[in-house]
C-alpha cells in the first residue's frame, strides 16, 4: 500500500511539473516557480476593476491564492533541497514520520526530490500554514524576520526601504484572502461581493508576501549566492581562482609521486597539453561571446573543467599512494 502511495505521489508531482510547463525530469527551481507566479499575479491584477464587474473579482481571489500555493510549495522545495540541515528539519515536521525511511528509500531511485515530496504533502490553507512551515524550515520567527526584510537589490543601500510596512496587517489581509477563496471555491454565496478596491488590496497582500519571502530566502539560504550580473561575474572569477588553487595542490603531490617513478617529465607535458586544450576551448566558446552574461558562464564552465581535472589527479594520487584501486 505504501509503494502504491509513493507511486501516486510521484505521478502527481510529475503532473504538477507538466502543468507548470517545466521539464518533468528535473526538479523545478525556486527562480522558475517565482517567475511563473509573478506572471500569474500580474495577469490577475489586470482583471481587477474591469467592465466585467465584481463577479470577475471572485476569480482573481481564487486564482491569486492558487498562485500563492504554488509559490509556497516551490519555496519549500528550494529550502529543503538546499542542504542536509533543512532536510533534517523537514523530517521533523512531516506528520507521518513512520513513512520517512520508506520515503527516502523510494526517492533514491526517483526523479522526485525529498523537497518535492515534503512540499507535496505540506498544507497551504491559511496564514498559519505559511508561517509555520517557514519558521520551522528556516529555524526563525517568520513574523520578526518579515518585519526586517529588504529587497536583495538594496543590500548595499545605506537606508533601504522595508518590503513589509506592517506584518500583522499583511497577515490579516492574507487571512481574509484565504477566507474568501474558500467561500468562492466551494459556495455559490451570491450575497458575498468584493469590489475593485478590496480585491486590489487582497491581491496586493499576496504580491507583497511573495516579494518578502523571496527577500527572506536571499537573506538566508541564498545569502552567499550572487544576485546581480556583476556579482555573478565576480563569483565565477573567484570560483576559477579557488579551483586553480585546488588543482595546484593536487598537481604538487602528483609530481612528487611521479618523480619517484621517473614520470614527472611526462606528467608536466601532459598537464600543459590539458591546460592548452582547456583554455583554447574556453576562449573559443563562451569567451568569444559578447554581452554581460557570458563572463559568468565562461567562469563557471572553466571552473568546472578545472575541478574535473583536479578529481582526475586526486584519484591518480590515491592509486599511486596505494590507497585505492581504480575500477
Residues 198, 233 within the same domain: no
Q: Give the span between the Cα atoms of 20 and 235, in whole angstroms.
A: 30
How many domains does the structure of the chain reveal? 2
Residue 327 lies in a domain: no
Pull the grid cell for residue 126.
491559511
Residues 205, 303 within the same domain: no
The alpha-helical segments, DSSP class H, found in 46-155 are 55-80, 84-93, 100-107, 114-120, 127-138, 142-146
Pull the grid cell for residue 166.
506592517
Residue 326 lies in a domain: no
pLDDT value for 12: 77
Mean pLDDT of 226-254: 82
Which three-class secondary structure string do you get for 43-54? HHHCCCCCCCCC
Identify the band that residue 295 occupies on the pLDDT scale cut at 50, 70 and 90: confident
Residue 325 lies in a domain: no
Q: Is the pLDDT of residue 211 over 80?
A: yes
Q: Where does a domain end: 197, 219, 241?
A: 219
Most confident of 8-12, 223-227, 303-307: 303-307
3-class SS shares of the chain: helix, strand, coil, % to 5: 70, 0, 30
91-95, 120-124, 193-197: the lowest-pLDDT one: 91-95
Q: Which residue has the higher pLDDT, 57 or 7?
A: 57
DSSP string for residues in 264-319 = HHHHHHHHHHHHHHHHHHHHHTGGG--SSSHHHHHHHHHHHHHHHHHHHHHHHHHH
pLDDT value for 1: 41
pLDDT digits (tens, 9 = 90+) for 261-281: 677 888 889 999 999 999 999
Residue 165 lies in a domain: yes
Four-point Cα dihedral 130, 153, 218, 73, nearest 10: 40
pLDDT value for 98: 43
The pair phi, psi for residue 324, each rounded to 5°, is -155, 160
Residues 262, 206 within the same domain: no
Residues 167, 53 within the same domain: yes
Identify the band that residue 26 occupies on the pLDDT scale cut at 50, 70 and 90: very low
pLDDT digits (tens, 9 = 90+) for 158-179: 778 899 999 999 999 999 999 9
Q: Is the pLDDT of residue 234 over 70?
A: yes
Residues 105, 170 within the same domain: yes
Q: Where does a domain end: 164, 188, 219?
A: 219
Mean pLDDT of 244-249: 93
pTM of the prediction?
0.68
Residue 202 lies in a domain: yes
Residues 122, 98 within the same domain: yes
Q: Give the CATH number of the domain where residue 241 resides.
A: 1.20.1270.180
Residues 161, 272 within the same domain: no
Residues 199, 311 within the same domain: no
Residues 177, 240 within the same domain: no
Residue 167 lies in a domain: yes
Residues 211, 236 within the same domain: no
pLDDT value for 212: 95
Residue 12 lies in a domain: yes
pLDDT digits (tens, 9 = 90+) for 61-100: 999 999 999 999 999 999 998 888 888 888 888 765 545 5
C-alpha 322 chain-centroid distance: 41
Residue 212 lies in a domain: yes
Q: Give the span between the Cα atoms of 32 and 311, in whole angstroms.
A: 32
Percent of all residues in the chain with a pLDDT value above 90, rounded to a whole number: 46
| Rg over CA atoms, the chain | 26
Q: Where does a domain end: 219, 251, 270?
A: 219
Residues 102, 179 within the same domain: yes
Residues 158, 17 within the same domain: yes
Q: Is the pLDDT of residue 33 over 90?
A: no
Residue with cell string 554581460: 292
The pair phi, psi for residue 150, each rounded to 5°, is -125, 160
Pull the grid cell for residue 148.
526586517
* Structural domain harbouring 31: 2-219
Amino acid at each position: 500500500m505504501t509503494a502504491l502511495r509513493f507511486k501516486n505521489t510521484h505521478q502527481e508531482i510529475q503532473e504538477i511539473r507538466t502543468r507548470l510547463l517545466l521539464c518533468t525530469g528535473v526538479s523545478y527551481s525556486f527562480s522558475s516557480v517565482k517567475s511563473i507566479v509573478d506572471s500569474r499575479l500580474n495577469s490577475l491584477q489586470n482583471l481587477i476593476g474591469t467592465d466585467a464587474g465584481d463577479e470577475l473579482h471572485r476569480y482573481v481571489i481564487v486564482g491569486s491564492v492558487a498562485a500563492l500555493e504554488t509559490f509556497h510549495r516551490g519555496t519549500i522545495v528550494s529550502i529543503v533541497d538546499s542542504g542536509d540541515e533543512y532536510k533534517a528539519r523537514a523530517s521533523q515536521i512531516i506528520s507521518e514520520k513512520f513513512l520517512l525511511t520508506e520515503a527516502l528509500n523510494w526517492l533514491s531511485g526517483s526523479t522526485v526530490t525529498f523537497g518535492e515530496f515534503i512540499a507535496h504533502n505540506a498544507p497551504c490553507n491559511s496564514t498559519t500554514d505559511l508561517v509555520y512551515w517557514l519558521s520551522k524550515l528556516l529555524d526563525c520567527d517568520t513574523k520578526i524576520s518579515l518585519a526586517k526584510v529588504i529587497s536583495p537589490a538594496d543590500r548595499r543601500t545605506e537606508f533601504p526601504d522595508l518590503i513589509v510596512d506592517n506584518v500583522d496587517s499583511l497577515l490579516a489581509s492574507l487571512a481574509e484572502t484565504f477566507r474568501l477563496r474558500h467561500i468562492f471555491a466551494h459556495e455559490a454565496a451570491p450575497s458575498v461581493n468584493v469590489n475593485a478596491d478590496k480585491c486590489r488590496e487582497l491581491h496586493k497582500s499576496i504580491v507583497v508576501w511573495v516579494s518578502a519571502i523571496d527577500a527572506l530566502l536571499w537573506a538566508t539560504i541564498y545569502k552567499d549566492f550572487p544576485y546581480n550580473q556583476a556579482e555573478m561575474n565576480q563569483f565565477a572569477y573567484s570560483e576559477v581562482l579557488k579551483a586553480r588553487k585546488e588543482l595546484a595542490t593536487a598537481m604538487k603531490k602528483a609530481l612528487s609521486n611521479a618523480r619517484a617513478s621517473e614520470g614527472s617529465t611526462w606528467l608536466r607535458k601532459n598537464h600543459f597539453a590539458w591546460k592548452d586544450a582547456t583554455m583554447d576551448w574556453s576562449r573559443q566558446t563562451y569567451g568569444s561571446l559578447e554581452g554581460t552574461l557570458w563572463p559568468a558562464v565562461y567562469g563557471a564552465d572553466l571552473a568546472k573543467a578545472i575541478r574535473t581535472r583536479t578529481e582526475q589527479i586526486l584519484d591518480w594520487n590515491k592509486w599511486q599512494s596505494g590507497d585505492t584501486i581504480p575500477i
